[in-house]
Structure 1
Amino acid sequence: MSFDLSVFSNKNIILAVTGGIAAYKSAILVRRLKDYGFNVRVVMTKGAQAFITPLTFQALSGNPVHTELLDPEAEAGMGHIELARWADLVLVAPASCDTIAKFAAGLADDLLSTLYLATKAPVWVAPAMNQQMWAAKATQRNLNTLVEDGVHVIMPEAGSQACGDVGLGRMPEPEVLAEQVKDYFHQAQRAIAEKFGLLAGKRVTITAGPTREAIDPVRYISNHSTGKMGFAIAAACYSAGAKVTLLAGPVSLDTPNGVKRINVSSALKMLDESMNQLEEGCDIFIATAAVADYRVAEVAEHKIKKSGDELNVSLIKNPDIVATIAQQEKRPFMVGFAAETRNVEEYAAGKLVAKKLDMIACNDVSRADIGFASDQNAMIVFFAEQYQMEKRDLEKASKQEIAQQLVEAIHDALHHEIEPV
């Protein structure tokens, strides 16, 4: 799965580090959280500073490390209040037995325990301690209190410990914790998108990439499409709250997060899957795939051996997938794409009418800066006459940005007052 990490750039994580040998893992955890795009500030107890220095966390997080309850550099000297308001999540890792007890008892005798009481942000604790301390009745009682108070407790792992014991009490690896934080925020954003996104509740099918039309078991006819634009649109539709199915030709791209991917090869297989999606329910059909116009009339059963200077292969026309879907009785909102090398607008406008589409986006693939395999694009969008909407020029930008603008165009068309056909 691939993620758009920029969506986490406005999320603030307080990583609280308490005393314990597992504090060394927290340095790696800062790096992993930063890799996902989170803003990270570190709070350290006095016990934590005995194992690792604040300077380490300052270098890794890019922010000053907070160690004192009364901070003379903070507004009104109340750093705990500023941090409490800043945080979107407070992650205590490692969480010592002492810290857990303080939280459960409601004590506020240092920066971290005061911050815990002052914040409205979700609080997660990742306990790390000796296996016997973990099993102690007092510890379990304190953990139950935290759970009742709404704290999320991340279970420790079993294994050998620094003291030589073996059992539960090891803090999970930094990569595991960072993944859990990422998933938490992703699910929260998804819930919002499904309710308020531009395409909330819509079922979207997208075709992307090239098709391959076999000549024999080792040769085929294809084109230069990489599928990048279609995959970017799939990610944008999902971010906008849609349920997305991606019919992907043979491309080397990671599946966008949350998107259902179905791999296909030939035009006929892509058409079959497109019809299946129509039967299962489809509100919007976006045809970005560069489908081969022709296929070989008779595919050779075995590899064709080289003989002579010429090889004649008979081709027959492939079905037009987007036009076929558009002709169905219960047709979805149809979005076509036109990749042209000349007379771009003229050809695109003609396809819009001829194929009975609601919207078409066209680009000039003869341009090296926005053609096949490029990470950027520039497009012109036309709408069917009944929508009474002017064409839109999408200036050169990343394919992710273009995809977002196309989602906005689809949303606008779906909500535009149109005359009965």
Structure 2
Amino acid sequence: MSEPNQGQHFARRLSASPPFLSVVALSFAGLLAGCDRPAQQAAAPPPPAVTVAQPTKRTVTDWDEFTGRFEAVEEVQVRARVGGFVNSVEFQDGAIVRTGDLLYVIDPRPFEAAAQQADGKLSDARAKVELAKRELDRALNLVQTNAVSEQVVDQRRQALQAAHAAEMQAEGELKVAKLNIEFTHVQAPLTGRVSRHLVSPGNLVQGSDNGASTLLTSIVTLDPIYIYFDLDEATYQRNSRLWHEGKRPSSRDTPNPVQVTLAGETKPSHDGVINFLDNRLDASTGTLRSRAVIKNTDLSILPGQFGRVRLIGSSPYEALLIPDTAVATDQSRKIVFVVKPDDTVEAKPVMLGPLDDGLRVIREGLKADDRVIVDGIQRARVGAKVTTHTAQAPAGGKS
């Protein structure tokens, strides 16, 4: 009895199994079908992030830049005015000297002796003048009594004139002798920086009387100082046109401001004004020699140095400015990337102006409300979408 019961129980389990087998069969069929389906594509990356800013709008003035060389306002070559042996050098090489400072002492003894001789000659000439006066007075008294003739009176009068002439000559020789003594003490004719001494004590120097005066040293003034530069013809014509239109004052009658940048500097450090334009253009270079005077209160600039001169090139005007790093080059064009309202990138050709306080002036091609890509332009593609972040500060720093 037990075995049939077990068979019936097994039969009932089999009759209850079709739903389970169906599930297994369906799962297996699904696995087989999955082997033929391609892998799902990876999720698309988000648009690249860029930083945008609107152009800065402010009043600017164009500047033209030129290379110039500094020269002293005044320069003097100190030469010996009298000949003789140098006794001493009274200055330190390269020092600042003041007008009247003693520089050299030349042996004055020969000139002191010559002055004594001239003084003695003057005394003798004055004595002869007194004698000639007395003789003339006597002759005038005697001629009234006919004791002497008129001819004698004329001779005495001529002798007095000759004595006066000899006295004047002696006075002149004494003055020359005293000047020579003064010239033995060579003094600084102006205030400035002196060069090294070119003649040492014990050397013989030649004076100016023989036309080959010995050079002793030189002195240059430092404050203020000149900077000379050459203005090209195109800039000169443009500035002349602006002057005729009343948009820019002429540097011939107005001390237009200039800014000077020294070698190794990134921005101007000295200010000055134009004080000279030449009266003609150089035929060989087509340039106009110009000069500005610069303050040099710290005496840091020396004649012979080079500098970059910025000269005012326009009247003030309103302009749009962006960082210079936001400008790209497309073959021969300059372009900037802007983000349109739908967050796609567009390249706009622009016309560039000069740099102003680190920003580039955009003359044409941009509007004030354009969103310019100022950081991340290497990730921007024309027509593609980007994720924008607004710059923390305006594109220009100052407005």
| Normalised-by-shorter TM-score class | under 0.3
TM-score by length of 1: 0.20
Larger Rg, first or second structure (1 or 2): 2
TM-score of the superposed pair, with normalisation by structure 2: 0.21
Greater relative contact order (CA < 8 Å, ≥ 6 in sequence): 2
* Structure with greater helix percent: 1
